[in-house]
Amino acid sequence: MKQIIKSATVYKADFGIKQEALADKLQASVFQECPPTRMRSWGFVPVADGDHLVLPFKNGFAFRVRIDEKQIPASVINQKVNEAAERIKELDNRTPGKKERAEIKDEVLMELAKQAFPRTAIITCFYQQTTGYLIVPTTSKKLADIIVTSLVHAAGSVKTETIHVSDVKHGLTTRLQAWANGNDDAFGVFQPCAEAALKQGERKINIKMGSLRGAETGIKEALAASFEVMSMGFTHDGETEFRLTHDFKLKGIECSHTDSEDEEEVSFYSQATLEVDAVSSIITDLVEMIGHGKDAQSTEAHPANP
């Protein structure tokens, strides 16, 4: 089985109900095809190849969200709105105000939506009960917000919080500087991989090479010029590689221990258990490393209404 968690936005969550009750609640919000005049449709679909909306694995469960969204270029929308506004000006000898232009835009979107085809995203999410981590395998804030909002609306009793570590950029930058100056323990249990992205204003530096030590001189010069770390690659426990971004998201996750020569023998249950354990362990250790434990905070998430 191919790896199922390749990126992650992680929340703290409290469902407050059992898996069986959650499945019943999600049943009322299953995915429905996007109506002709709507731009977006979302809902819950069965996990893996079965018909279960909630599928358990060791110490947790998974659920899957499908999001269909029609893509219409902003330039096309603006052109149609301007054309409609110009017609009103010619016929009524007046210029539509802000409120009327907004109404015109809504009408334009409804008409354009009838001709547009939706783009589909299907995302399998994971909840680990022992840690309370809700793992949403995307780094797109828009998709993550839609998923969390859909879950809260469907289940009702779910409480979600964003895992917040103050000033990730500063934390990584300070540790990279210590590491470049010879402190091999600067990143705790994490080992830097051969990849880093730094930024200072509009200036950017991307480092990709066989060993980050080979770029040590360049790293020192960049840090001396007030560059800050935007993302870095790490190895965790000698098995899982990933990139940590400045907004505390994981990208490019590669769990070596999930590889199998006989992929058909690897079940969703075992695959999910291994990968969720790996990601959860990374998050816990990152909060400890960057947030120093006591400094790590949890704040309520307020996702955008989809």
Residues belonging to the chain: 306
pLDDT for residue 306 is more than 50: no
Q: Are residues 96 and 233 in the same domain?
A: no
Do 177 and 219 belong to one domain?
A: yes
Residue 4 belongs to some domain of the structure: no
Q: 100 or 164: whose pLDDT is higher?
A: 100
DSSP 225-291: TT-EEEEEEEEETTTEEEEEETTS-EEEEEEGGG--SSGGG--HHHHHHHHHHHHHHHHHHHHHHHH
Q: How many CA atoms lie within 13 A of 294 on its CB side?
A: 0
- Give the residue among 230, 229, 228, 241 at the shortest CA–CA distance from 190: 241
Of the pLDDT bands very low, low, confident and very high (cuts 50, 70, 90), residue 151 is very high
Q: Are residues 151 and 44 in the same domain?
A: yes
Taking only the tens place, the pLDDT of each residue in 55-102 is 999 999 999 999 998 888 889 999 989 999 999 988 888 898 999 999
Compute the Cα dihedral for 279, 285, 288, 291 and give only its sign: negative
- Nearest residue to 233 via CA among 225, 242, 224: 242
**Which pLDDT does position 303 carry in this prediction?**
41
Among candidate residues 5, 2, 3, the one with its CA nearest the CA of residue 276 = 5
SS3 56: strand
In the chain, the number of structural domains is: 3
Task: Please name the residue that has the structure tokens 């469907």.
Answer: 154
Shared-domain flag, residues 147 and 173 = no
Q: Is the pLDDT of residue 189 over 90?
A: yes
Residue 293 lies in a domain: yes
> Is residue 2 one of the residues assigned to a domain?
no
Sequence-distant (≥ 6) Cβ neighbours of residue 81 within 8 angstroms: 101, 104, 105, 108
Three-state SS sequence of 119-186 = EEEEEEEEEECCCCEEEECCCCHHHHHHHHHHHHHHHCCCEEEEEECCCHHHHHHHHHHHHHCCCCCC
pLDDT single digits (tens) 191-203: 998 899 999 999 9
Q: Which of 216, 266, 212 lies closest to 235, judged by CA?
A: 212
**One domain for residues 230 and 212:** yes
Are 42 and 94 within 8 A, CB to CB? no
Structure tokens at 102: 């907004």
The tens digit of pLDDT for each residue in 230-283 reads: 999 999 988 899 999 999 999 999 987 654 545 545 688 899 999 999 999 999
- Are 231 and 193 in a shared domain? yes
The domain of 130 spans: 9-69+122-158
| pLDDT at residue 266, as a whole number | 64
Do residues 45 and 157 touch, judged by C-beta distance below 8 A? no
Domain contains 142: yes
Q: Taking all residues of the chain, what is their mean pLDDT, rounded to a whole number?
A: 87
Written as one letter, the residue type at 150 is: S
86, 174: one domain: no
pLDDT at residue number 200: 94
Provide the CA 291 distance to its chain's centre, in angstroms: 20
Q: Is residue 128 part of a domain?
A: yes
- Whether 198 and 103 share a structural domain: no
**Using CA atoms in the order 97, 101, 102, 103, what is the torsion angle rounded to 10 degrees?**
110
Residue 173 lies in a domain: yes
Q: Do 65 and 78 share a domain, yes or no?
A: no
Do 229 and 129 lie in a common domain?
A: no
Give kind and range of the element (H or E) at residue 115.
none
Q: Any long-range contacts for 104-108 (C-beta under 8 Å, 24+ apart)? A: 105/77, 105/81, 108/77, 108/80, 108/81, 108/84
- The reply to whether 3 falls in a domain is no
Strands of the 203-208 sheet, one edge to the other: 203-208, 190-200, 228-236, 240-245, 250-255
- Does residue 222 fall inside a structural domain? yes
Residues 145 and 18 in one domain: yes
- Give residue 129's pLDDT: 94
Same domain for 62 and 84?
no
